[in-house]
Amino acid sequence: MKFKISWPTGIILALSAFIIFILSFVYKATFMSQYDHHLVSDDYYKDELNYQQEINKLNKAAALKEDITLSKVPEGLLIKFPAEFDSEKITGTISFQRPSNDKIDFQFPIKLIASNYLISNENLVDGRWNAKIEWTINGTTYLFKEKLMY
């Protein structure tokens, strides 16, 4: 017995298969947690209003004689602050953001004895990180940002 499909039935079957295919992707992107989509910041618009202040802090940091340096050492990531400052008077925060997974982002307060700060390997997973270091000394706030591969 031959099974014959007329052309209108074929068009309807093809369109139905295409619609089911597209709807399966919409379902996956909307309802499945493994395809989580989120903004970089929950307070995106509030952050945007403070952007000029951030630019001013970045410019102050760029005007320094020596910049912050990040270097990978066997124990972890070594952050070296400029030697022109008294390291014990530096306060602020060190933030690391993982663009691919916001659940492993972390932030540390800056408390220095020497001009170096070590972040251990347990805190950093291999991959791309956005580092943001904001520090204050003598009433002036500076900001350092860098994208790095760890």
Distance CA(112)–CA(144), nearest Å, equals 17
Tens digit of each residue's pLDDT (9 = 90 or more) over 85-126? 888 888 899 999 988 777 888 898 988 888 888 888 888 888
Residue 39 has a pLDDT of 57
Distance CA(144)–CA(60), nearest Å, equals 10
Return the CATH architecture of domain 44-149: Sandwich (2.60)
> So where are the chain's domains?
1-37, 44-149
| DSSP character string of 35-91 | G----S-TTHHHHHHTHHHHHHHHHHHHTSSS--EEEEETTEEEEE--TTS-GGG-E
Q: Which residues of the chain have pLDDT under 50?
A: none
Q: Indicate whether this model's pTM tops 0.85.
A: no
